[in-house]
Chains A and B, each alone.
Chain A
Amino acid sequence: MLTINNLVISRPIGKSFFRVCLPELLVKAGQVVVIKGDSGCGKSTLLEMIGLILKPDEVTRYDLMVDNQTYDIANVINQNNINQLANIRAQYLGFMLQTGGLLPFLNIKNNILLSAKLLQKNIDSQRFDYLVNKLNIAHLLNKYPKQLSIGERQRASFIRSIIHKPALLLADEPTSALDPYNANLLFDLIIEQAQQDNIAAMIVTHDWQRIESKGLFTLSAKLTSTQSSEFLPL
């Protein structure tokens, strides 16, 4: 379970600042949260803060409960303990980037297995086969990212981000380069895997209409001024 209170950052835009704020969030294990909003409202910034790759200016509470153990991540952020943050990212977080996010010098299979190798976790080969077959990338496993389309990379990146069964999956516009069929397939797979492996998932998307009917908890960006936005439940 993920609990966040008062997560704030002000980012410079020219001579002024744009403030992004998440007053409150509670995501249960297996729950999928959708983050929506106009371009430039700070969706990716919010995801980066939650993903611990961007230090917020303020965070009052950031608790992640895994296997009945609660991690006070806010404390780690405030202490700026970058090694501990890296540990948390490696073990409990899965991050799917908009452009794929794969190392160019590893083939797709090794890219997918990288998170698990870093943790020295054994891979459930049945699950691996299921995911690559489901997303139709089995024939691409020996290729390098450069040889794939962005959509194919996004699909590979998704598997890479959940292969080590993280507690929290963060996906930044995971379907932006996918055709409607594959976009539906990926959304369904995210929901399926989140529920199956108790992964709390947060998805930033502009593809709101595609998942509107799925009844997911949604955070929507509300512009409180021209220089500030807040993410509130829809």
Chain B
Amino acid sequence: MDKVTAKWGLITRLSLADLCYDKKVSFCIIAAVISVITPLLLLFSLKYGVVAQLRHQLLNDPQNLEVKIVGNLQFDQQMLDWIKNQPETAFVIPLTRSLNTQADMLKDSGHFVNNAEVIPTSKGDPITKDMSLINQKNQVLLSSLAAEKMQIKTGSRIKMVITRQLDGKLEKGITELEVIGIIPEVYYSRAAGFISLDLLIEMEHFYDGYQSETFPTGTGLTNSTYPDSFARARIYAKSLDDVAPLALKLREKNIETRTQAMAIENMQAIDRVLSFIFGVIAITAIFGCILSFSGSFLSNIERKRKDIAFMRLIGFKSKEVMVYLLTQAMALSCLAFLVSCLLFLLGNCAFNLVLGKNLVSQPIVSQLQFYHFIIAFILTLFISFVVVAIGGRGAVKIQPAESLREA
């Protein structure tokens, strides 16, 4: 071992020997640090747990992000592309006339839904974003209410029945669909089936009196030209802040819209209040943390002034004394952080077990990611390093004789 390593080894051993010898004082410092870090970890775990999830749900609720079209218009592909290309637009998909977006769905004669909403969906749809993607005409995503009424599970098959009047006679078009997913009630609360746009177009085609391969009846017009425009569209903005500008742009194109302006304002107000409350608590807590660290570590340095003076008397350099003090601070901080993490895990379990049961949609009340712990650990070391570096610098500036005489 070279001389430099041996010297730093000696200083480290001295630091740790001092901590072990002064167990009570070390315990008090560790306890003081734990008392600050643990509540902070729990506070931030709530922020990144239930509060973040609630905030995310509030701000990303599709109902609030939707810009509804009032009445039936003529949306050609050019207009749909224009809407899609707006920076505020998250998702847009055409809709057929409102009367043509209803169908009966049935599992069997005892389990069915009359006049269920039939809604087209595709990739990027905020309502079905966490569900399986519909790739074929014969697939459907059911809302939980529709699934409940039919007592359907994913993988089941249902029949979709639509009725038209042709030449004075009522005709039923029936097609079989595979249920590839069930949309949770929080995303869509009414009885509905989400299908491909192609199937919806096929429905309208059937309602309009044409023959359809999907809804075979053997009657109807054989001319199979499909319309190149749509009556309406489902439009969603990227964020709550984008809803009003997007609605304004549509109105400028003479498209009447309706938004959840009041609900959006409420959501944004709640978000601002939550952010402010956590901001104030976090700043106060971090400030308290710095004060607590200062109190603990500076009083420790003050108590060690005689030892520091003695070490300098026998020839320890200032930077070596600083390393001695910093090693102690780092060791105490590491230990305190470790214990804080263990206590946090207990609190975390308590939150999730006790409070999680009361929040059906929020089973995770308290959570921190691994990188949160890394950041907290680095901050803990950084604060104690800075506090001890400042306090230690003051202590080593004092002439050894002064400190030795005071003792």
Contacts and interface: CB of A to CB of B under 8 A. Distances in A.
B312 A86 contact: yes
Which bucket holds chain B's interface residue count? 20 to 34
Given A101-B310, A120-B3, A115 B407 contact: no
A103 B310 CA distance: 8
Given A48-B401, A99-B407, A105 B18 contact: yes
20 contacts: A48-B401, A53-B312, A53-B313, A53-B404, A54-B401, A83-B317, A90-B314, A90-B315, A91-B315, A97-B404, A101-B404, A103-B307, A103-B311, A105-B20, A115-B315, A118-B7, A118-B10, A118-B315, A120-B7, A160-B314
A144 B7 CA distance: 23
B311 A51 contact: no
Contacts of B311: 103
Contacts of A117: 10
Interface string B296-336: 00000000000101111111111100000000000000000
Given A53-B404, A106-B14, 14 more contacts: A53-B312, A53-B313, A53-B399, A54-B399, A54-B402, A83-B318, A86-B316, A90-B314, A91-B315, A103-B14, A103-B311, A105-B14, A115-B314, A120-B6
B390 interface: no
Contacts of A91: 315
A118 B316 contact: yes
Given A48-B401, A105-B17, A117-B10, A86 B22 contact: no
A89 interface: yes
A40 to B, nearest CB: 13
Given A104-B307, A105-B17, A106-B17, A95 B7 contact: no
Main secondary structure, interface of B, reads helix
B21 interface: yes
Interface string A82-116: 11001101110101010101111110000000110
Interface in A103-150: 103-106, 114-115, 117-120, 144
Interface of A: 44-45, 48, 51, 53-55, 82-83, 86-87, 89-91, 93, 95, 97, 99, 101-106, 114-115, 117-120, 144, 160
Contacts of B209: none
A106 B11 CA distance: 12
A112 to B, nearest CB: 11
Interface in B96-123: none
Contact of A53 (B10, B20, B401): B401
A86 B318 contact: yes
B400 interface: yes
Contacts of B312: 53, 86, 89
Interface string B383-407: 0000000000000000111101101
Contacts of B313: 51, 53, 89, 95, 97, 101
Contacts of A97: 310, 313, 404
Contact of A114 (B7, B314, B319): B314
Contacts of A45: 401
Interface in B1-50: 3, 6-7, 10, 14, 17-18, 20-22
Given A89-B315, A105-B21, A55 B307 contact: no
A48 B365 CA distance: 63
Contacts of A83: 317-319
Contacts of B407: 99
Nearest to A92: B315
Nearest to A101: B310
A41 to B, nearest CB: 15
Given A53-B400, A118-B10, A86 B3 contact: no
A53 B315 CA distance: 10
Interface string B181-221: 00000000000000000000000000000000000000000
Contacts of A48: 401
B62 to A, nearest CB: 65
A39 to B, nearest CB: 14
Contacts of B314: 89-90, 95, 114-115, 118, 160
A86 B401 contact: no
Nearest to A117: B10
Contacts of A51: 313, 401
Contacts of B10: 117-118
Contacts of A106: 14, 17
Contacts of A102: 310
B392 to A, nearest CB: 14
